[in-house]
Amino acid sequence: MRLYKRKDTTQWWATWNGQDGKRHRRSLGTDDRKLAEALAAKWAKDNFLEEHFGKKPDLPFSEALLNYAKAKKRDSEKHFMTKTLYRVRFLAERFKGWNVSDFTYRKVQAFIDQRLETVSPATCFGDLAVVRAAINKARREEITDFVPNFPKLRPSKPRNRWLTFEEEDKLVQAAAKHLRPLIRFAVDTGGRRSELLELDWRNVAMKSRRVTFVDTKNGEDRSVRLCERAYETLLSLKPKDSGPVFTYGGKAVQDMRSSFERACRLAGIEDFRFHDLRHTFASRLVQGGVPLYEVMNLTGYKSLGMVQRYAHLSPDFQEVAIRVLDHRPEHSGHILGTVENHRSRKMAVSH
């Protein structure tokens, strides 16, 4: 590896022959000779290890995280900007200067212990999920060989708070006038808060009674058929050709967290969040006998595992299963009972 300076810059450059036999050139990013020599020596060592031992050079975590962030933004820019960007920025600052190989079991456990002093387990679990995803993505792309061995952090129990019909009526009555149709519509469509606040009349088909939530959390559009009350809710808002569906003072509702919390407080409803209206939608579908697969499609969940939390609400959840125990196929050739009964009946047949 040889160091040199180009005429158009003050920074040092390096040139070397790679494993492929081709000549490579790369800027060292500094005009300091000693620092340039140190960087060149590291590159030479990494190149030697990879060429002779198949060992890939250590990867800065910042590069792995940036690569992950670009992919997430490409998949769904809206969700990335509202959900992922904050966490990526935090992790980039928290692990500044770390290499991927620095994420050892002991160091990650120390991070978990420290993080749990200020945030909930769910937030800490989300942080680790991004770190793990970034490293695993780098492994799949074969730019690192590091295999993370993280401590197991049990995710918080899935939340499944939902409203009874009586609670819903109380909440609507206690809510501000502009908030009432939003609450009803959330219960009747299962829309997420961001989906509802960004809903435009252009994505509402009153004739066919459908709404389309565009660019949802999973990056896909989701169409929902309107029930009678949801249709009447939209009628009361006086449909237009375009513009935000839910407004306050003629402008789109931006955030109603404080007004929703106030409504819950006035209605005497505890431990309830706006997102729980979505749980109410799913819970009522299951309680009405709608199969979990259909609930998955209507809510936009990506897998059945995400709707399993509602399975116990199905009216046939245990009924059908327990009924099997009452079945006695006397003429089917099967013998039910204990092993001892099976043996005694077998002996009786032989005699």
pLDDT digits 0-9 by tens, 24-74: 676 766 777 777 777 667 656 556 445 543 455 578 899 999 999 998 888
328 or 215, higher pLDDT: 215
Tokens 């109410």 -> residue: 280
Query: 211-215, 244-248, 304-308: which has the highest mean pLDDT?
Result: 244-248
pLDDT band at 325 (very low <50, low <70, confident <90, very high): low
> Which pLDDT belongs to residue 292?
79
Closest CA to 195 of 301, 80, 78: 78
Residue 145 burial (C-beta neighbours within 10 Å; 0-12, 13-18, 19+): middle
> Which pLDDT belongs to residue 132?
92
> Which pLDDT belongs to residue 88?
92
CA angle 34, 35, 36 (to 5 degrees): 90
* High-pLDDT (> 90) share of the chain, %: 36
> Which pLDDT belongs to residue 168?
95
- Euclidean distance between CA atoms 203 and 244, whole angstroms: 10
pLDDT band at 203 (very low <50, low <70, confident <90, very high): very high
Q: pLDDT by residue (tens digit) across 246-278?
A: 999 889 998 888 999 999 999 999 989 999 998
Alpha helices (H) in 190-254, listed in sequence order: 193-197, 228-236
Name the token pair of 58. 């250590």
Q: pLDDT by residue (tens digit) across 285-296?
A: 888 888 877 888
- Euclidean distance between CA atoms 22 and 240, whole angstroms: 63
- Euclidean distance between CA atoms 14 and 174, whole angstroms: 70
- Euclidean distance between CA atoms 26 and 12, whole angstroms: 9
Closest CA to 87 of 75, 97, 99, 95: 95
> Which pLDDT belongs to residue 338?
45
Question: 317: number of CA atoms within 13 Å, CB side?
Answer: 13
> Which pLDDT belongs to residue 54?
44
Kind and range of the H or E element at 303? none
> Which pLDDT belongs to residue 228?
94
pLDDT band at 297 (very low <50, low <70, confident <90, very high): confident
pLDDT band at 9 (very low <50, low <70, confident <90, very high): confident
> Which pLDDT belongs to residue 44?
63
Decide: pTM greater than 0.95.
Answer: no
pLDDT band at 149 (very low <50, low <70, confident <90, very high): confident
- Euclidean distance between CA atoms 38 and 344, whole angstroms: 84
Q: Which residues contact 82 (CB under 8 A, 6 or more apart)?
A: 194
